[in-house]
Amino acid sequence: MLTTILKRLLGAIPNIIGVIVVTFLLTRALPGDPAAFFAGPSGSAEAVEQIREKLGLNRPLPVQFGYYVRDLAKGDWGVSLSTGQPVLRELATRLPASLELTLVGLLLSVVIAIPLGVLAATRPGSWIDHACRAIATAGVSLPTFFTGLLLAYVFYFLLGWAPAPLGRLDAYLSAPPSVTGFYLIDSLIARDLEVFWAALRQLALPAITLGLFVLAPLARMTRAAMLGVLSADFIRTARASGLSSRTVIFTYAFRNAVLPVMTTLGMVFSFLLGSNVLVEKVFAWPGIGSFAIEALVSSDYAPVQGFVLAMALLYVLLNLTIDIAYGLIDPRVRVEG
């Protein structure tokens, strides 16, 4: 297993290098000039040129890239021109908000999608099967920002059941002492149930929005994987041996169908890390996605580059976690690795 992990890490190095190069070039190719933006509408050409010289934007691209790589090697991801803070500090401050939203949305989708897919596969042609396919179609068809706006309109504006979609916590409440950065966990550690329920209410709509987006591919893959396994010879043998339906489905069928579901889970988690950018803007969620969008609008290169690099590193860690989970679920994967 250790050899497999080292191989995966070494194989990820060229990908990370490619991400760094492509992101650097794309940010420079985007329309807009950071110097002109921060000089303002009344800034003179001389002021803009002074800002460009101070930021090093008047140097050739290879020279800029060399300085950028040198700073990355030192652990310096640059400074955000919008906030004046180091990008790494800004990302570390905002990352827990994005991860909390993503993980809760993913957990919500897993709790619903996997049992729904199993039930649809064991009852083909039933109303559960048709409902599973209808939910999968709707989840794929509806964009996340539209779903978020619709949920906010119905549950906040019309019914008044949800709080205003304005961040992680009500304005009159203070954030719990930071331990993990996750408000739900930190409020429980501090034994502050008022903050816990307030944070949970704020989290509900954006998490449901992401959960609906992920539920569709997970339910569809679970159904397809279970249908494939249930038609296998060893399942017919297990049933002919007199084993109960529950034992056949959960002990034999689901365990063999879980690997493609795990693969889909890793893919949709990476999709969530990107799609939560729109959800964060809809619900004013202070995560790294909204931070990157604001930096992109102001042509602030360093936060955009830092956001993409952070997503790439998270994606590598995610793939590594999935590989380890494969080995724990199916020992044959460890032997082949």
126 within some domain: yes
In the predicted model, is pLDDT for residue 258 greater than 60?
Answer: yes
Indicate the number of domains in the chain. Answer: 1
47 within some domain: no
12 within some domain: no
In the predicted model, is pLDDT for residue 310 greater than 80?
Answer: yes
- 134-157 pLDDT per residue, tens: 877 777 777 777 888 888 889 988
More confident residue, 103 or 42: 103
180 within some domain: yes
Beta bridge partners of 79: 86
pTM of the model: 0.80
**Confidence class for position 164, pLDDT limits 50, 70, 90:** confident
> What CATH number is given to the structural domain containing 270?
1.10.3720.10
- 70-121 pLDDT per residue, tens: 888 888 888 887 777 888 888 888 888 888 888 898 888 888 888 888 888 8
Task: Determine contact, residues 145/279, Cβ cutoff 8 Å.
Answer: yes
In the predicted model, is pLDDT for residue 337 greater than 60?
Answer: no
Q: What pLDDT, on a 0 to 100 scale, did the predictor assign at position 2?
A: 67
65 within some domain: no
CA distance 265 to 103: 12
- 182-234 pLDDT per residue, tens: 888 988 998 888 889 989 999 999 998 888 888 888 888 888 888 888 888 88
| DSSP assignment letter at 176 | P
31 within some domain: no
Q: What pLDDT, on a 0 to 100 scale, did the predictor assign at position 333?
A: 55
Tell me the residue ranges of DSSP E strands in the chain: none
- 18-35 pLDDT per residue, tens: 888 888 887 777 666 677
195 within some domain: yes
**Confidence class for position 173, pLDDT limits 50, 70, 90:** confident
332: three-class secondary structure by DSSP: helix
User: Containing domain of residue 122, as a range?
Assistant: 87-336
Q: What pLDDT, on a 0 to 100 scale, did the predictor assign at position 335?
A: 47
Lowest mean pLDDT among 27-36, 56-65, 216-225, 304-313: 27-36
Across the range 321-335, mean pLDDT stands at: 64
39 within some domain: no
CA distances, 287 to each of 106, 260, 279, 290 (Å): 16, 30, 10, 6
SS3 content of the chain, % helix, strand, coil (to 5): 75, 0, 20
CA distance 74 to 52: 23
Q: b/e string for 306-321 if b means 16 or more Cβ within 10 A?
A: bbbbbbbebbbebbee
Sign for the pseudo-dihedral over CA of 317, 321, 322, 326:
positive
